[in-house]
């Protein structure tokens, strides 16, 4: 990238200056950013030629200072040339340091990424969730392995990160890491945040994402039908762990809670609502947004079933929830026993609440959005788009009006 570079000598008036010689300073300017430093020489104001940036006259003292300034000018030009030949970033700061012989430590990508993640970790519970840190750490791990695999180095100066780096990292995520499109896009976006920090700190002079475009693929959301919900509810399980997982899953289907929210749900968060009936009144773990959910009979029945469970009594929890990994593994067993071919996860429970349980039964989308704790109703509208059965039912109401005689 070509830089605009200039060097200017000028007299700098000292503080409380009255009369006498002034120090001669030089200003190095690169792309509009400048650094100033003293030339080590002084000059009487009436001897200084502002336009030439030199002393007037042919006296020996004037010629000596002018030779000194020319030597400085040549040295700065040489420093600029050396930076250019070494393909190093040319800034006012780097040029000044090169002239002074100061070796500047280059800012590297992985170090900047690690510092970012450490700050996120320090702010856990104060604007960041543990899941967010995990995602950034995963992106950092992929970035490390990519740099080593592609460039055979342990780290890279941020000034070396260009569009080629971004494009190749995208390809690496999809080919070597087997990331699906949306996962690859998320990692690229995580890297982009670190790059924006480097740009803001002027560690980089160009944005490597300038011509890069990410496109998220629309995901088909899996939901359970009323008959599948009934099948899971009616199935008798002789193994207690499967009963607990089934009940927890159903509870999420009838409340819309995510896994982490049902895992953290306390008895004190089940309270009387404005209608005098039991509601869930809590803040979502992910967004801290308040969510108020009236309890349906199935959900109330499940709460009663575990009211005296030891794990619930001692931990003040509503349900005895296992780890997410175990719960999803047990859900596969439940699906097999109920002859359901869909891959059951707790995300499906939340989707099912939004569609099969609420929107399909005529609950207004504004109410569903509030119960789900969405901050933007457009997020809830995604569920409305997949309800062909609801569209069919709505249109059936006007079929008679437009029937052909």
Domain spans of the chain? 5-100, 109-200, 226-396
- For residue 328, the SS3 value is helix
**Mean pLDDT calculated for residue range 304-327:** 89
Task: At 346, list the tokens.
Answer: 């707790």
Please answer whether residues 208 and 165 qualify as being in contact, where contact means their C-beta atoms are separated by less than 8 angstroms.
yes
Task: At 272, list the tokens.
Answer: 């009387």
Domain 226-396 grouped into CATH 1.10.443.10: yes
On the 0-12 / 13-18 / 19+ scale of CB atoms within 10 A, 114 is middle
109 band by pLDDT with thresholds 50, 70 and 90: very high
Q: What is the pLDDT of residue 39?
A: 93
27 band by pLDDT with thresholds 50, 70 and 90: very high
395 band by pLDDT with thresholds 50, 70 and 90: confident
Q: How far apart are CA 34 and CA 115, in angstroms?
A: 28
Q: What is the pLDDT of residue 259?
A: 92
Q: How far apart are CA 317 and CA 314, in angstroms?
A: 8
Percent over 70 (pLDDT), the chain: 95
Please answer whether residues 358 and 384 qualify as being in contact, where contact means their C-beta atoms are separated by less than 8 angstroms.
no
Q: What is the pLDDT of residue 4?
A: 84
389 band by pLDDT with thresholds 50, 70 and 90: low
Q: What is the pLDDT of residue 153?
A: 93
Say yes or no to pLDDT of 289 above 90.
no
DSSP 216: P
Q: What is the pLDDT of residue 162?
A: 93
Element containing residue 270 per DSSP (H, E): strand 270-272
Q: How far apart are CA 39 and CA 65, in angstroms?
A: 10
Other beta carbons less than 10 A from residue 134's beta carbon: 10
38 band by pLDDT with thresholds 50, 70 and 90: very high
Q: What is the pLDDT of residue 324?
A: 81
User: Interior CA angle at 253 toward 247 and 259, to 5°?
Assistant: 75
Percent over 90 (pLDDT), the chain: 63
Other beta carbons less than 10 A from residue 34's beta carbon: 14
Q: What is the pLDDT of residue 181?
A: 92
Q: For the chain, how long is the longest CA-to-CA vector?
A: 114
Please answer whether residues 304 and 254 qualify as being in contact, where contact means their C-beta atoms are separated by less than 8 angstroms.
no
Q: Which residues contact 290 (CB under 8 A, 6 or more apart)?
A: 281, 282, 283, 284, 373
Q: How far apart are CA 143 and CA 149, in angstroms?
A: 10
Q: Over the stretch 60-108, which tens digit does the pLDDT of each residue have?
A: 999 999 999 999 999 999 999 988 887 777 888 888 988 888 866 778 9
391 band by pLDDT with thresholds 50, 70 and 90: low
Taking phi first (over 0 means left), then psi (-120 to 50 degrees means alpha), and beta for anything else, what does residue 101 get?
left
Q: How far apart are CA 95 and CA 90, in angstroms?
A: 6
Task: Pick the closest to residue 43 from 60, 65, 28 (CA basis).
Answer: 65
Mean pLDDT of the chain: 89
Other beta carbons less than 10 A from residue 324's beta carbon: 13
Say yes or no to pLDDT of 50 above 60.
yes
178 band by pLDDT with thresholds 50, 70 and 90: very high
User: Interior CA angle at 181 toward 180 and 184, to 5°?
Assistant: 85
Q: How far apart are CA 293 and CA 299, in angstroms?
A: 11
Q: What is the pLDDT of residue 385?
A: 67
Query: Which residue is it, tokens 């087997």?
Result: 178
**Mean pLDDT calculated for residue range 26-44:** 92
Q: What is the pLDDT of residue 106?
A: 76
Please answer whether residues 116 and 201 qualify as being in contact, where contact means their C-beta atoms are separated by less than 8 angstroms.
no
Alpha carbon dihedral 143, 259, 281, 228, in 10-degree steps, equals 130
Q: What is the pLDDT of residue 197?
A: 96
Residue 285 phi, psi (nearest 5): -65, -40
Query: Which residue is it, tokens 């200084």?
Result: 48
Say yes or no to pLDDT of 163 above 70.
yes
């Amino acid at each position: 990238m070509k830089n605009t570079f200039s060097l200017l000598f000028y007299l700098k008036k000292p503080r409380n200056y009255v009369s006498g010689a002034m120090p001669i300073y030089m200003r190095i300017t690169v792309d509009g950013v400048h650094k100033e430093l003293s030339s080590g020489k002084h000059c009487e104001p009436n001897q200084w030629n502002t336009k030439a940036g030199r002393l007037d006259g042919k006296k020996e003292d004037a010629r000596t200072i002018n030779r000194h300034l020319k030597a400085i000018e040549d040295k700065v030009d040489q420093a600029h040339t050396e930076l250019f030949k070494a393909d190093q970033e040319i800034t006012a700061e780097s040029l000044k340091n090169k002239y002074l012989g100061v070796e500047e430590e280059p800012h590297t990508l992985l170090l900047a990424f690690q510092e970012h993640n450490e700050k996120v970790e320090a702010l856990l519970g104060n604007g960041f969730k543990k899941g967010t840190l995990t995602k950034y750490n995963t992106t950092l791990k992929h970035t490390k392995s990519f740099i080593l695999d592609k460039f055979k180095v342990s780290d890279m100066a941020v000034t070396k990160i260009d569009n080629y780096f971004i494009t190749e990292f995208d390809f690496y995520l999809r080919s070597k890491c087997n990331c699906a499109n949306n996962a690859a896009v998320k990692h690229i976006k995580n890297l982009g945040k670190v790059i924006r920090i480097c740009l803001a700190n002027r560690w980089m002079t160009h944005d490597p994402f300038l011509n890069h475009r990410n496109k998220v693929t629309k995901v088909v959301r899996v939901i359970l039908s009323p008959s599948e919900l009934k099948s899971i509810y009616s199935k008798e399980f002789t193994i207690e762990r499967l009963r607990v997982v089934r009940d927890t899953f159903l509870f999420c289907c009838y409340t819309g809670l995510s896994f982490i929210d049902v895992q953290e749900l306390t008895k004190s968060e089940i309270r009387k609502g404005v209608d005098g009936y039991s509601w869930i009144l809590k803040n979502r773990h992910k967004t801290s947004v308040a969510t108020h959910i009236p309890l349906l009979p199935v959900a109330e029945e499940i709460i009663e079933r575990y009211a005296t469970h030891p794990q619930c009594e001692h931990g003040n929890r509503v349900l005895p929830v296992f780890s997410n990994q175990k719960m999803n593994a047990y859900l596969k067993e439940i699906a097999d026993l109920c002859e359901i071919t869909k891959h059951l996860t707790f995300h499906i429970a939340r989707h099912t609440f939004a569609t099969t349980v609420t929107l399909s039964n005529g609950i207004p989308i504004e109410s569903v959005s509030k119960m789900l704790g969405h901050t933007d109703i457009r997020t809830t509208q995604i569920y409305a788009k997949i309800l062909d059965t609801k569209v069919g039912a709505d249109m059936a109401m006007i079929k008679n009006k437009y029937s052909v005689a």
